[in-house]
Chains A and B, each alone.
Chain A
């Protein structure tokens, strides 16, 4: 006769340790979020370069201590820090967009009525364009134009003249 071990239906359940398993799942979720936020931050910075630079984040505690496995709290701080950087980058992008819109409106006004914008200088960088030139309202024919009220918008290249040797 063979005695076979068999679990009694009345036997108590084996107690699990849900904290350990749940924390690992939570850490995995946080790492996934960190990956997504890093991608978003990179795309935001790249799209707005060079007008918006990487916002410095508040370094989570113990950063600079070298690579190690982070616990749940540390991963949360990294995630929150990334989210804050993205928020500040987007604020920067929005501010930049507002500046460019205002600059385009100003340029239209300058072209429409140069006389009202005498000596106004608008860098092309403020319009989101490349280069170091600037739109400026200058008098035609120098002093004569200034006295006669002849003003026009000029676009300079912005490149400095070579310095004397």
Chain B
């Protein structure tokens, strides 16, 4: 990560008013020379292993595990109902139960699913070359928009977003700008993880490492 193997993730910026209201809310990221495209065999095998270990009983008990529960609590604290707008780990768990597998064929998606299923910490991937400056976690201002193809979605004032110098690039745990998403063809990827109160830093770092490993050349 960050062009050097074994380097720790970097602490990102959280807007002061958010940090004051929600102590423990942190942003961590890593920039890697990743490879998008089809899922390599090594990553697919890892996903199969995770999928085979994950059963209905795990899905039922998921909400009582510390890290998934921390995200559920955070969802409620920012006005989301986790039983309606599922947390990322629960979304992945439901997808596993419905589809019977985790593998989708898209390398970026599969690497992120591996990270969230193993640690409970969601990671998002941006095309580093499409970003302008640092990614910060803040509340949207008046009149800000989220790029979406040839159009732009209005982002209500106060909505929590991940933003670079040009404006919002993703709604927190929600819609992502398709202009900034890491897709086939991008070679440098910024992996961003939002650490909510109650989640140990080690889990966040592990999630970033797992995602980075899935996007490395051999997918290991």
Q: Taking the nearest CB of chain A, how far is it from the CB of B61, in angstroms?
A: 6
- Known A27-B21, A35-B198, A46-B60; judge A69-B81 contact (CB<8 A): no
- Judging by beta carbons under 8 Å apart, are A67 and B172 in contact? yes
Please tell me if A127 contacts chain B, counting CB pairs below 8 Å.
no
* A39 vs B73: C-alpha distance when bound (angstroms): 8
- Judging by beta carbons under 8 Å apart, are A43 and B64 in contact? yes
Contact count A vs B, C-beta below 8 Å: 88
- Judging by beta carbons under 8 Å apart, are A24 and B21 in contact? yes
Q: Taking the nearest CB of chain B, how far is it from the CB of A85, in angstroms?
A: 9
- Judging by beta carbons under 8 Å apart, are A46 and B198 in contact? no
Give the interface size class of chain A.
Answer: 20 to 34
User: Which chain B residues border A42 with CB–CB below 8 Å?
Assistant: 63-64, 69, 72
* A60 vs B80: C-alpha distance when bound (angstroms): 10
* A67 vs B168: C-alpha distance when bound (angstroms): 14
Best-buried of B61, B76, B139, B173 by chain A (most CB within 10 Å): B76
Would you list which residues of chain B between 181 and 197 have a CB under 8 Å from chain A?
A: none
- Judging by beta carbons under 8 Å apart, are A67 and B160 in contact? yes
Please tell me if B7 contacts chain A, counting CB pairs below 8 Å.
no
- Known A43-B64, A46-B60, A74-B79; judge A67-B69 contact (CB<8 A): no
Q: Secondary structure at chain B's binding surface: helix, strand, loop or mixed?
A: mixed
- Judging by beta carbons under 8 Å apart, are A65 and B72 in contact? no
Please tell me if A107 contacts chain B, counting CB pairs below 8 Å.
no
Across the interface, A63 reaches (CB within 8 A) one of B80, B172, B198, namely B80
Q: Taking the nearest CB of chain A, how far is it from the CB of B136, in angstroms?
A: 15
Q: Taking the nearest CB of chain A, how far is it from the CB of B55, in angstroms?
A: 14
Would you list which residues of chain B between 113 and 144 have a CB under 8 Å from chain A?
A: 139
User: Which chain B residues border A34 with CB–CB below 8 Å?
Assistant: 73, 76-77
Please tell me if B100 contacts chain A, counting CB pairs below 8 Å.
no
- Judging by beta carbons under 8 Å apart, are A67 and B171 in contact? yes
* A24 vs B174: C-alpha distance when bound (angstroms): 26
- Known A66-B171, A67-B171; judge A78-B76 contact (CB<8 A): yes
27 residue pairs A–B, Cβ–Cβ below 8 Å: A24-B20, A27-B21, A34-B73, A38-B72, A38-B73, A42-B63, A42-B64, A42-B69, A42-B72, A46-B63, A54-B83, A56-B83, A57-B81, A59-B84, A62-B79, A65-B159, A66-B80, A67-B78, A67-B159, A67-B172, A69-B17, A69-B158, A70-B77, A70-B79, A74-B79, A75-B77, A82-B76
B interface list, Cβ under 8 A from A: 17-18, 20-22, 60-61, 63-64, 69, 72-73, 75-81, 83-85, 139, 156, 158-160, 171-174, 198
A interface list, Cβ under 8 A from B: 24, 27, 31, 34-35, 38-39, 42-43, 45-46, 49, 54, 56-57, 59-60, 62-70, 74-75, 78, 82
